[in-house]
Amino acid sequence: MSKAFDYLFSLRFGVGSEGAAFHEIIDLVNELLRDSQASTAIPVERLHQYCSDALTSRAYPQNVVDRLLDAVITVVLEKDTAVPFLIIKLDDYAGRYFAANMLGWFGPDAVGAIPALIGLASGPSGAAGAAQQAIVRIGGAESAVLSALDASLGYEDAGDFGELNDLFMQAGYATTQKYLDIIHKAALAHNPELRGEAVYAIARLSTAEKQHLTSEIEQLKCDPIDAVRTAALNEL
Name the residue ranges covered by the structural domains of the chain. Answer: 2-138, 142-235
Q: What is the pLDDT of residues 22-40, one digit of tens each?
A: 888 888 888 877 756 555 6
> DSSP string spanning 106-130?
TGGGGGGGHHHHHHHHTSS-TTHHH
Q: How many CB atoms lie within 10 A of CB 121?
A: 28
The 3-state DSSP class for residue 9 equals coil
Which pTM was predicted?
0.84
How far is the C-alpha of 93 from the C-alpha of 216, rounded, in Å? Answer: 40
- pLDDT in the model for residue 36: 61
Residue 11 has a pLDDT of 87
Residue pLDDT, tens place only, 197-223: 999 999 999 999 999 999 999 999 999
Burial of 10 (0-12, 13-18, 19+ CB in 10 A): exposed
